[in-house]
Structure formats: structure tokens, C-alpha cells
């Protein structure tokens, strides 16, 4: 997911049982649980395994058949449509764990930019992540890409990203922070004629995406529509095209990259938009664990949105809050509010329509 990350060595504890906590998106109007009980599917979760010696490899990437050690797993940021029913069993701490024998580490190695781990959760697991493959990149263990074998939707902010095309002018879409291709896969599933340009800093992440996340097949299927570029997503040459939409998903060391709190960055991105084009951004939040404690997730989220509002105008920035608590996370979007939200919904499959009602104007 994130195109700019610098990984440090990771130290693990020996743990025999996996506990996963993750964050879903439910708009404020849908938060109807009893405040005296634990909110369903609401928290930051941890994933831990028995330890294996650190592995550094070059291609080909070996498949490891037994779980390795991962200190923590945090998803920036899982979401769920407001119409979806919650499962109270997930709120029970005893139900949050996944037995270690139902998770495999398919790859674990250190690249120039990342500590890369690919996990596979068994379809037999009694958990919303059952049947998924997950890409972890930074030291705290934030998940940067997700793919399900039997369903196109992810119940993550990638689904929010996929609502953007119906309100864009004609033209290509850029994904800054391609990761393993979660956003591109869903966009092309819904809009097979889209032209997508994705940028990823780490060539090893793209190699992993081709090996474990079906990117090679996606490139073959959409040859002429999907273009992947290796390099700094925010460098001027990288965004030299003129785009109808730009999706920004850039993290470094478990935090939104500092450049996104810089007004100048948003000015450059704005110049790369076609008339009527929009930018949609994963702004992180409290649910994202940074390697550096001074990079508080909620504070960085607010600084990022504030910089966007200075670059585009406060009346042209909207936010969709993710999670159950204030500041858990958000996705932000630029541009004027669509004149016809009903038409926007008609351009979306049913599982995504509820997201349209969750946006609100940025209030500073």
C-alpha cells in the first residue's frame, strides 16, 4: 500500500496464539451499540506468532509453511458499510483470536525499503479476515494490502476508494502507493475500461504482489489499461500526467508520509488534475501505529486534512470518518460536493452505495 517506507529490524516475542484487532468503518449515525458494552469490531488488534530467525532473501521468494513471528498487526483502515450488521461475537476478546495453525507466513524478508511479510488466513478461520492474504510492511505490523480469494470487496477503505470513478471526468486514475494492488484490483473489477497508473517505491513489493496477490494475472487481463511505475510517487516526473482522479495511500514507518502535511505537495498534485478531477486520500488516524511515537496517528491525520484544505480550499474538502471512535481514521476527498448524490449511488454496486451518505464537509 504505502509507496514510501523505511524499515528497521524487528524483534519478536514467542507467542503461540494469534490475536487480531482491526478497525471497521461505521458512520457516526450508525453507532447504536450500548455504550456499556464493548463496541463490535472496534479496536486496534495484535497478531503474534512463534518466532523464526529473520530471513533476508532475493527472488525467487520462498513459501514458508509455518507461521513466523509478527509483533503486531494494524490495518490502516478497515471499514464496513453502514448498512452492514455487526457480529457481537467479534467484540468478545475470546473470539478475536485465530489459532496459529490457521495462518501461514507465505513470505518474510527485508527489502531496501521494507520488512515484507505476506500472511494467508485460512478460509476455515471464524473471523472476517478468513480467506484473505495480507501484506505487512512496517515494523509495527500495519497491513498495507488485502485480497480475498472469493470476493472482490474488502470491507476496507479500498472500498471507499472504489466509489470515486462515477463522479470523475473522463481520464486516467493515478494510485500513489500501489502496494500489492488492492485498490487497482477492485477499481478494474468495477470499471474494466479504466486506465490506471500506479506508483510504488519498492520494487520488491511489486514482486510480492505478482507472486502472491495475482498482480501478474491482473496486468495480463488489463494490458493497455494498467501501468505500474517504480519510484517516488510524489516526485514531479512521477505525476507528470494529467489525471481525472488521484488516489493517495502513502505511508512511511507506519505513518502518513510527512510530505502530505506540506501545502506545496497538494499544490503539485492539484496541478496534475484534469478540470473537475478529484483527489481521495487515506489520511490514517489513531488506528495506525507509527514506529516513532512523536508521529501520533490522529494528529498526523488532522494535519494532513488541514494541508489539503489549504491547497484546495476548505469548501472543497470532505471527509469520511472510519471506525467507531473520533479520530480512529478517515478518508478525505477534494472537489465540490456532487450535485446529484442519487446519481452517484446509481453508478455504484449496492455494497458501496452507503458510503455516499457518510461524507461530511471538512470543518477545520
What pLDDT shows up at residue 134?
94
**What's the pLDDT tens digit per position in 167-218?**
999 999 999 999 999 999 999 999 999 999 999 999 999 999 999 999 999 9
The β-bridge relationship of strands 196-200 and 329-334 is unpaired
Q: How far apart (Å, rounded) are the C-alpha atoms in residues 354 and 356?
A: 5
Residues 6+ apart with CB under 8 A from 236: 268
Q: Quickly count: other Cβ atoms within 10 Å of residue 242's Cβ.
A: 14
Higher pLDDT, 3 or 242: 242
Run of H or E residues at 62 = none
Question: Going edge to edge, which strands form the sheet with 103-110?
Answer: 103-110, 115-121, 132-136, 143-148
Q: Which of 12-21, 286-295, 303-312 has the lowest mean pLDDT?
A: 12-21
What pLDDT shows up at residue 334?
97
Q: Where are the alpha helices (DSSP H) in the chain?
A: 88-91, 157-161, 182-190, 203-212, 215-221, 263-271, 297-312, 341-346, 350-353
What pLDDT shows up at residue 66?
23
Residue with cell 505537495: 265
Domain boundaries along the sequence of the chain: 157-361
What pLDDT shows up at residue 87?
30
Average pLDDT over residues 234-260: 85
Q: How far apart (Å, rounded) are the C-alpha atoms in residues 34 and 37?
A: 6
**Residue 334, phi then psi, degrees to nearest 5:** -100, 165
Are 345 and 356 in contact by the 8 Å Cβ rule? The answer is yes
**Residue 197 corresponds to which cell in the numbers above?**
497508473
Are 247 and 183 in contact by the 8 Å Cβ rule? The answer is yes
Run of H or E residues at 12 = none
The torsion region of residue 247 among left (phi > 0), alpha (psi -120 to 50) and beta comes to beta
Q: Which CATH superfamily is domain 157-361 in?
A: Vaccinia Virus protein VP39 (3.40.50.150)
pTM: 0.76
**What's the pLDDT tens digit per position in 258-276?**
999 999 999 999 999 999 9
Q: How far apart (Å, rounded) are the C-alpha atoms in residues 184 and 227?
A: 10
**Residue 70 corresponds to which cell in the numbers above?**
509478527
Amino acid at each position: 500500500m504505502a509507496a514510501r517506507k523505511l524499515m528497521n529490524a524487528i524483534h519478536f516475542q514467542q507467542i503461540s496464539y494469534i490475536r487480531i484487532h482491526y478497525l471497521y468503518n461505521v458512520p457516526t449515525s450508525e453507532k447504536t451499540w450500548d455504550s456499556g458494552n464493548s463496541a463490535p469490531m472496534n479496536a486496534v488488534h495484535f497478531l503474534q506468532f512463534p518466532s523464526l530467525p529473520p530471513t533476508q532473501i532475493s527472488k525467487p521468494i520462498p513459501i514458508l509453511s509455518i507461521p513466523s513471528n509478527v509483533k503486531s498487526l494494524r490495518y490502516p483502515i478497515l471499514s464496513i458499510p453502514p448498512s452492514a450488521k455487526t457480529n457481537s461475537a467479534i467484540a468478545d476478546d475470546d473470539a478475536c483470536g485465530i489459532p496459529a495453525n490457521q495462518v501461514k507466513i507465505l513470505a518474510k524478508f527485508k527489502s531496501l525499503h521494507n520488512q515484507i511479510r505476506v500472511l494467508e488466513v485460512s478460509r476455515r478461520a471464524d473471523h472476517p479476515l478468513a480467506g484473505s492474504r495480507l501484506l505487512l510492511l512496517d515494523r509495527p505490523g500495519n497491513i498495507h494490502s488485502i485480497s480475498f480469494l472469493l470476493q472482490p470487496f474488502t470491507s476496507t477503505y479500498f472500498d471507499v476508494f472504489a466509489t470515486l470513478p462515477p463522479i470523475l471526468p473522463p481520464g486516467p486514475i493515478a494510485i500513489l502507493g500501489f502496494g500489492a494492488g488492492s485498490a487497482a484490483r477492485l477499481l478494474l473489477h468495477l470499471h474494466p475500461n479504466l486506465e490506471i497508473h500506479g506508483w510504488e517505491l519498492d520494487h520488491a513489493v511489486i514482486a510480492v504482489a505478482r507472486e502472491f496477490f495475482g498482480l501478474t494475472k491482473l496486468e495480463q487481463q488489463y494490458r493497455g489499461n494498467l501501468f505500474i511505475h517504480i519510484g517516488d510517487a510524489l516526485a514531479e516526473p512521477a505525476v507528470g500526467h494529467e489525471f481525472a482522479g488521484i488516489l493517495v495511500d502513502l505511508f512511511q514507518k507506519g505513518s502518513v508520509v510527512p510530505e502530505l502535511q506540506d501545502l506545496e505537495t497538494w499544490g503539485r498534485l492539484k496541478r496534475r488534475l484534469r478540470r473537475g478531477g478529484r483527489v481521495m486520500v487515506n489520511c490514517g488516524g489513531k488506528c495506525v501505529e507509527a514506529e516513532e511515537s512523536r508521529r501520533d496517528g490522529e494528529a498526523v491525520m488532522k494535519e494532513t486534512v488541514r494541508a489539503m484544505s489549504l491547497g484546495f480550499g476548505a469548501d472543497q474538502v470532505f471527509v469520511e470518518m472510519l471506525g467507531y471512535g473520533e479520530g480512529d481514521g478517515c478518508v478525505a476527498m477534494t472537489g465540490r460536493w456532487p450535485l446529484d448524490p442519487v446519481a452517484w449511488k446509481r453508478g455504484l454496486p449496492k455494497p458501496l452505495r452507503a458510503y455516499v451518505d457518510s461524507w461530511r464537509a471538512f470543518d477545520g
